[in-house]
Structure 1
Amino acid sequence: MTNARLGEALRLLGIGEAACRVYAALLELAPAPLRAIGAAAGADGAELAAAYGELVDAGLASAAVEGGDVVAPVPPAAGLEILARHRTAELEASRLAVGGAFESFRRQRLAPLDGHLVEVVTGDAVGRRMRQAWASAREQIRQLESPPYVPLPGATDDALATLARGVTQRVVYSRASLEHPGHLKEAIEPCIEAGEQARVLPSVPVKLVIIDEAYALVSLSIKETDVHNAMLVVQPCGLLSALVALFEQSWQNALPFHGRTALPGGLAPADRRLLWLLAGGASDDVIARELGISRRTLFRRLQVLMARLGAANRFQMALQAQRYGWLSPGR
């Protein structure tokens, strides 16, 4: 190994430059008096004493004869192990120090910029940003939807155009979305027929649109949207990750909704009364008593009604019955 490569290796272990020169001279001349080693390394006096002391502390050199002036290198295995551990500890301390310094810088200097991660959009700008969102989507749109609705001319056309480009669209609708006048026929069912994947929950926690993994649009509050007509634009950050997780959890809990299907036939008055009692929150025992039937007969009727509606459970059956008008007087 050349002296240059040896010196580089020793410096990586934390050995100083003068000590590296002295060690190289030791390997060439030892055993020899320390003064001779120093002369070969170009070091004397305090510099030589310090360099040799550094090598002794590192376990790389010692006196050839105890108490004598003659010095020599020693087998480096143990010393190098100690040096490596010290160096690892120093590097870890340096990593923590640099990381802490940057965190301090971020808190003091970048805090004023954090507001750019969340932008507030109000008024007419809401419609423009919504249209830009649909146009910018490349892979998927995830949405939690519920009234009240801000009038956005062409919103359904934008969604259909996005689906036509092959962008996956998953939407969780609230029950209120299906019941909103005209919304089911004019907005929801056309998108489902175009390929949108739709599910339904009794309610959604927030009105939300997530565009790819790029950003999210969030209404400030479902109850306040029609008053303030405002939304948040959330850029990639911890909040965006939380919103994605919120959507995925809502999607898992929601019921599939398949849009327009053939309308089932008429409903017997007893079955209509059964559905009304069920929708009103009556217990199975109360429903059976009011209809004058056994619980077994009640369960059988419920199974038949769920099969006719293609429902997997009672909640979905109630949604479908509402859609088909089975809960409306006179049907």
Structure 2
Amino acid sequence: MRRMANASEALRILGIDHDAGRLYLALLESAPAPLGEIGTAAGLEGPELTAAYGELVAAGLASVAVDGHDVVSPLPPAAGLEMLGRHRAAELDESRIAVGGAFESFRRQRLAAHRDDLVEVVTGDAIGPRMRQAWASAREQIRQFDSPPYFPIPGATDDALATLARGVTQRVVYSRESLEHPGTLEAVIEPCIEAGEQARVLPSVPVKLVIIDDAYALVSLSIKEADVHNTMLIVQPCGLFSALVALFEQAWHNALPFHGRTPRPGGLLPADRRLLWLLAGGASDDVIAREIGVSRRTLFRRVQILMARLGATSRFQMALQAQRCGWL
């Protein structure tokens, strides 16, 4: 049952709801077979079965069925994943527009009418102390988007570990570039995960952001192309702050969980589990090979062995099967 829940979570991240996720797993297990039989295996019937299967068809993951007696089967997921990926990209674009609109509204309505310091600009050497102060001030939770470029702050990882030790919940969405940035995975990300940080990964994050409790947010005005991070906004509760919180929660919902080196049951070698998590996190083959200490050729061979063990014909199917086996 727990493995089924893990696989359903993987499908949910792709935008497939709970019932459709159960049905897809039953489809992978039993197809080709009549739709009614697949529905019975998933515990669905009638309108619920019709709606769930219709979602799979719309996502390009299953063949079309006219009625419950049709023999159905899963489709190669490449086209469906492309559709889902575009849908997620559109959602992030809408979120960026919402944040921009909220800021414009804030600027026109609040700053024009009041002289409250709702947004403070911090630059240069003042950034490090303010960020350390922010971590120390957290009482309940920290929410963060993490991506290069990084501002050099001595002791930043120790501050994060100390915050976790105080019982503060820390949720971080890392970009793929964070995993690929030299030294960041082993020296920063994995120690925090082992200390209790909840981490997820997206191909990219819309902004470098830290939200402290429901009190204020730190927003980097970094220049990615020049690898420069020398200006930061501190945003107090207002329309812009609410939009930043909503943007984080939507990205967190869509991101893939990442557990680093954390031990998990499932009878898998630690190096292979690490390989799977890096692969699921979107890291490139070069980065994965470097992180687990093998050549690209050896990495390819290991991936092929894992696919064979899981009975998978693609990396996507391997990820789903690994979730079901409790390997991720």
Q: TM-score, normalised by structure 2?
A: 0.50
Which residue number in structure 2 is paired with residue 63 of structure 1? none
> In structure 2, how many angstroms separate the alpha carbons of the residues matched to 1:274 and 1:124?
46
Which residue number in structure 1 is paired with residue 67 of structure 2? none
Q: Cα gap change, 1:311/1:239 in structure 2, threshold over 3 Å: closer, same or farther?
A: same
Which residue number in structure 2 is paired with residue 263 of structure 1? 271
Is 1:306 matched with 2:314? no
Greater relative contact order (Cα 8 A, min sep 6): structure 1 or 2? 2
Which residue number in structure 1 is paired with residue 287 of structure 2? none
Which residue number in structure 2 is paired with residue 68 of structure 1? none
| Pick aligned residue for 1:272 from 276, 300, 306 | 300
Query: Quick check: 1:117–1:236 contact (8 Å CA) kept in 2?
Result: yes
> In structure 2, how many angstroms separate the alpha carbons of the residues matched to 1:306 and 1:108?
48
SS of 2:211's equivalent in the other structure is strand
1:101-130, Cα deviation, whole Å (9 max, x unpaired): xxxxxx999737446111110011100100
> In structure 2, how many angstroms separate the alpha carbons of the residues matched to 1:146 and 1:274?
29
> In structure 2, how many angstroms separate the alpha carbons of the residues matched to 1:232 and 1:178?
25
1:203-252, Cα deviation, whole Å (9 max, x unpaired): 00000000000000001145278435111000010000000000000000
Which residue number in structure 2 is paired with residue 165 of structure 1? 166
**Structure 2 regions of 5+ residues with no counterpart?**
1-107, 264-269, 274-293, 305-309
> In structure 2, how many angstroms separate the alpha carbons of the residues matched to 1:108 and 1:196?
38
Amino acid at match of 1:272: F
Q: Quote how far apart the aligned CAs of 1:172 are.
A: 0.2
> In structure 2, how many angstroms separate the alpha carbons of the residues matched to 1:274 and 1:263?
10
Q: Quote how far apart the aligned CAs of 1:306 are.
A: 3.1
SS of 1:245's equivalent in the other structure is helix
Q: TM-score, normalised by structure 1?
A: 0.50
Superposed, 1:152-191 pairs within 5 Å as 152-191=153-192
Is 1:243 matched with 2:244? yes
Q: Cα gap change, 1:225/1:152 in structure 2, threshold over 3 Å: closer, same or farther?
A: farther
Superposed, 1:45-60 pairs within 5 Å as none
Q: Cα gap change, 1:303/1:227 in structure 2, threshold over 3 Å: closer, same or farther?
A: closer
Query: Quick check: 1:198–1:256 contact (8 Å CA) kept in 2?
Result: yes
Superposed, 1:281-300 pairs within 5 Å as 299-300=312-313
**Superposition RMSD in Å:** 3.7
Query: Quick check: 2:223–2:229 contact (8 Å CA) kept in 1?
Result: no
> In structure 1, how many angstroms separate the alpha carbons of the residues matched to 2:209 and 2:130?
13
Query: Quick check: 2:146–2:173 contact (8 Å CA) kept in 1?
Result: yes
1:73-98, Cα deviation, whole Å (9 max, x unpaired): xxxxxxxxxxxxxxxxxxxxxxxxxx
> In structure 2, how many angstroms separate the alpha carbons of the residues matched to 1:230 and 1:131?
15
1:162-217, Cα deviation, whole Å (9 max, x unpaired): 00000000000000001111100000000000000000000000000000000000
> In structure 2, how many angstroms separate the alpha carbons of the residues matched to 1:230 and 1:247?
21
Q: Cα gap change, 1:146/1:301 in structure 2, threshold over 3 Å: closer, same or farther?
A: closer
> In structure 1, how many angstroms separate the alpha carbons of the residues matched to 2:296 and 2:166?
45
> In structure 2, how many angstroms separate the alpha carbons of the residues matched to 1:224 and 1:268?
28
Query: Quick check: 1:122–1:228 contact (8 Å CA) kept in 2?
Result: no
Which residue number in structure 1 is paired with residue 14 of structure 2? none
Give me the identity figure in percent: 71
Q: Quote how far apart the aligned CAs of 1:301 are.
A: 5.7
> In structure 1, how many angstroms separate the alpha carbons of the residues matched to 2:210 and 2:226?
14
Query: Quick check: 1:207–1:219 contact (8 Å CA) kept in 2?
Result: yes
Amino acid at match of 2:300: R
> In structure 2, how many angstroms separate the alpha carbons of the residues matched to 1:160 and 1:124?
23
Query: Quick check: 1:159–1:191 contact (8 Å CA) kept in 2?
Result: yes
Q: Cα gap change, 1:229/1:264 in structure 2, threshold over 3 Å: closer, same or farther?
A: same
Which residue number in structure 2 is paired with residue 210 of structure 1? 211
Q: Cα gap change, 1:223/1:212 in structure 2, threshold over 3 Å: closer, same or farther?
A: same
> In structure 2, how many angstroms separate the alpha carbons of the residues matched to 1:109 and 1:240?
13
> In structure 2, how many angstroms separate the alpha carbons of the residues matched to 1:113 and 1:224?
35
Is 1:192 matched with 2:193? yes
Query: Quick check: 2:143–2:211 contact (8 Å CA) kept in 1?
Result: yes
Q: How many residues align?
A: 188
SS of 1:166's equivalent in the other structure is coil
> In structure 1, how many angstroms separate the alpha carbons of the residues matched to 2:244 and 2:109?
27
> In structure 2, how many angstroms separate the alpha carbons of the residues matched to 1:186 and 1:270?
25
SS of 2:170's equivalent in the other structure is strand
Q: Cα gap change, 1:114/1:237 in structure 2, threshold over 3 Å: closer, same or farther?
A: farther
Which residue number in structure 2 is paired with residue 125 of structure 1? 126
> In structure 1, how many angstroms separate the alpha carbons of the residues matched to 2:215 and 2:134?
10
Q: Cα gap change, 1:255/1:109 in structure 2, threshold over 3 Å: closer, same or farther?
A: closer
